[in-house]
Amino acid sequence: MAKKSHLKRRRLSSTAEVQVLSMSRRRCAICYGLLGDTGIKDGQIAHLDRNRNNNDIDNLCFLCLNHHNTYDAKMLQAKHLTVDEVKIYRMELYAAIKAGVLRRPSVSRRVGPARVSSRADAEIMMRLFDRRLKLYVGFLKFLSHVTEKADLELSFLYRFSRHITIRCFVFGDDIEEYLQEVKKKAIRLRAIRRMVQHEKDNERLQKLFEEESEVLSWLSDQFDEGQRRFKKYLQIDWKPGAG
């Protein structure tokens, strides 16, 4: 990796690539350093000294597409975003990853109405809003499915659990806890319906029916309750003309 070829551009070795990707966990060092944005990004490995033949690990840094473009452009040099500065951000990012404090993106956990002051911020908020909206729609679909379907498939519940894990990256703890509660009720509903099928005792059967209707009514109420809880995450206060 240290040897340089002046004949043609040296390809980045896959080991170096894997190393950079795994160390950064696909978090952009500039997003992290300037915005505290710890979201996983679509990005590329940048050559910090802008020499594409220098594939030394210290010269490589994962940057989001946006920052990779602007880093390579003269514009950012004018803004004094120097190699050393990015290296500091990268060092802080790697340290944070090692310390395990990056599990939840800080910018993603901003509760609305979010203030948007720069174009980069606006883009982050836009993407975040988009993702939040999709997850909220997914939640509504889950509720419809759970309340309408007589027999809930286990695979459907597993999928929802997986989505809770994704949701905890883009919402706060309150939503995660809330969704766990919804999931528990859905699982309970499924269990009650299974028990009903095998229960012979009339009194116990009656109790199960009562509980079923209680749980079902609770779940139906979550269309409104969910809207109330998600609402604060789906508000953006756009300041025009900034950035």
Binding-site ranges for Zn ion (CB under 5 A): 28, 30-31, 64, 67
* CA 186 centroid distance within chain: 24
Minimum CB distance to Zn ion smaller for 42 or for 237: 42
Structure tokens at 146: 């759970």
Question: How many other C-beta atoms can be found within 10 angstroms of the C-beta atom of residue 200?
Answer: 6
Residue nearer to Zn ion on the CB measure, 30 or 189: 30
CB closer to Zn ion, 33 vs 226: 33
Least Å from the CB of residue 31 to Zn ion: 3
Between vectors from CA 71 to CA 68 and to CA 73, what angle results, nearest 5°? Answer: 110
- Smallest gap from Cβ 159 to Zn ion, in A, equals 31
* Minimum separation from the CB atom of position 87 to Zn ion (A): 15
User: What are residue 46's DSSP bridge partners?
Assistant: 61
For residue 69 the two structure tokens come to 């473009």
28 vs 186, beta carbon nearer Zn ion = 28
CA atoms within 13 A on the CB side of 71: 28
Gap between the Cα atoms of 216 and 156, Å rounded:
17
Q: Report the nearest approach of Zn ion to the CB of residue 172 (Å).
A: 23
**What separation in angstroms does the CA of 86 have from each of 7, 22, 75, 77, 237?**
29, 18, 15, 12, 30
In angstroms, give the least distance from the CB of 137 to Zn ion: 27
How far is it, in rounded angstroms, from Cα 139 to Cα 228?
Answer: 13
Residue 66 CB, nearest distance to Zn ion (Å)?
A: 6
Whichever of 60 and 143 has its CB closer to Zn ion, that residue is 60
- State how far Cα 238 lies from the chain centre: 21
Of 67 and 229, which has the nearer Cβ to Zn ion?
67
Q: Determine contact, residues 62/37, Cβ cutoff 8 Å.
A: no
Nearer to Zn ion, 90 or 229 (CB): 90
Phi-psi label, residue 136: left if phi above 0, alpha if psi -120 to 50, beta otherwise: alpha
Structure tokens at 27: 């978090």
CB of 120 to Zn ion, least distance (A): 7
